[in-house]
Amino acid sequence: MGAQIIDGEAVADKIRQEVESDAAELKSKGLAPHLVAVQVGENPASRMYTNMQAKNCESVGIEYDLRTFPEDISQADLIGEIGRLNNDTAVTGMILQMPLPRQIDARQVQVMIAPEKDVEGMHPVNMGRLFYGGGHVAPCTPLAAVELLKRTEPDLAGKEAVVVGHSEIVGKPIAMLLLESLDASPTVTVCHVATKDLAAHTKRAEVLVVAAGVSQARWLGYNRKKKKGEDVQPPALTPLVTADMLREGAVVIDVAINRIPKGFDETGEPLKNKKGKNAMKTVGDVDYEGALEKVGAITPVPGGVGPVTVAMLLQNTIACAKAMG
């Protein structure tokens, strides 16, 4: 019997329904959720994301505004604009769009967003609340990963959980979320680039959350060297976690989204598509096809954590509105 494929789209739809109900209730009490996205300059990729934000907010009854500022705005002026939005009681949530131009220190600007309006859960205050428990928001991708896990495996108490990846925006928050309960948390091990024997840990994991993005990192590193004219061999873009590294019946949440070439030709160049561009594919960190025959449940990439991450931004927006009420 094959593994259960964890449907992120279906879970995201359920969360959006819950958010829509919460938004309507807040409005009935005179507190309309209102998310403002702050963007500096014009960026096509960012514009695509803000259009998606606007569409999702509209679908659940959250008011959405995009505030765009000139490319050459100074950091001081941008912080001033953030301050005005902090003081605007009609604004209940705020998100800072990336990338920012070189003259702006993204981290310094990010921390100027009031913690109560930080829908991304990235403010140090909210990170601290995550560590101690009781915060109203957390980073969206970790929330999505843990939400999918809990809906698939509700009883995590004492289970062996392994998190591969220890970034401050994904791996570490996932570990903290898993440890949130005083009496129903799993036993959590965090692995990273310096882990000597990754397989020894993943093989005993009843619950495995992988968020490293290794294949894409290898591809980007190779591409940079190639552009500099260095004589380098194409990287082995094999999955970080292969089927033989998995425990029978495990629940696997693959957070990584790797955009990598479908292959390389004999000269080391990526294979091309019909338009002459690099033929790319999207994969996770886990050998998905191999895992299907071994694990109990697994998220696909794409279609797993990604859709729920977007839904969690909406859920965080509601949480921020409630925090201001």
Distances (CA, A) of 91 to 63, 136, 262, 280: 9, 17, 44, 40
Q: Looking at residue 49, what is its pLDDT?
A: 86
Question: 237 and 147 in one domain?
Answer: yes
Question: 254 and 146 in one domain?
Answer: yes
The residue segments making up the domain with residue 53 are 27-117
Question: 219 and 148 in one domain?
Answer: yes
Q: Looking at residue 45, what is its pLDDT?
A: 76
Give SS3 for 1: coil
Is residue 8 in some structural domain? no
Question: How far apart are the C-alpha atoms of 192 and 213, rounded to whole Å?
Answer: 11
Is residue 22 in some structural domain? no
Question: How far apart are the C-alpha atoms of 211 and 231, rounded to whole Å?
Answer: 30
Facing residues of 40 across strands?
69
CA angle 243, 246, 252 (to 5 degrees): 100
Question: How far apart are the C-alpha atoms of 174 and 141, rounded to whole Å?
Answer: 9
Question: 262 and 184 in one domain?
Answer: yes
Q: Looking at residue 1, what is its pLDDT?
A: 54
Would you mind telling me the total number of residues written for the chain in this entry? Answer: 325
Question: 191 and 107 in one domain?
Answer: no
Is residue 41 in some structural domain? yes
Question: How far apart are the C-alpha atoms of 211 and 61, rounded to whole Å?
Answer: 32
The string of pLDDT tens digits covering residues 258-299 is 999 999 998 888 999 999 999 999 999 999 999 999 999 999
Low-confidence ranges of the chain (pLDDT < 50): none
Q: Looking at residue 303, what is its pLDDT?
A: 96
Question: 105 and 187 in one domain?
Answer: no
Residue closest to 315 by CA, chosen among 28, 65, 121 = 121
CATH of the domain at 266: 3.40.50.720
Q: What are phi and psi of 141, to 5 degrees?
A: -65, -45
Is residue 321 in some structural domain? no
Question: 170 and 99 in one domain?
Answer: no
Helix, strand, coil percentages (3-state) for the chain, rounded to 5, are 40, 15, 40
Question: 198 and 62 in one domain?
Answer: no
Question: How far apart are the C-alpha atoms of 3 and 5, rounded to whole Å?
Answer: 6
Question: 225 and 89 in one domain?
Answer: no
Is residue 292 in some structural domain? yes
CATH of the domain at 36: 3.40.50.10860
CB 248 within 8 A of CB 1: no
Q: How many domains does one find in the chain?
A: 2
Is residue 194 in some structural domain? yes
Q: Looking at residue 242, what is its pLDDT?
A: 97
- Locate 136 and state its tokens: 């109203």
Is residue 320 in some structural domain? no
Q: Looking at residue 268, what is its pLDDT?
A: 84
Question: 143 and 111 in one domain?
Answer: no
Question: 276 and 303 in one domain?
Answer: yes
Last residue within a domain, chosen from 64, 89, 117 = 117
Is residue 50 in some structural domain? yes
Q: Looking at residue 193, what is its pLDDT?
A: 86
Question: 172 and 62 in one domain?
Answer: no
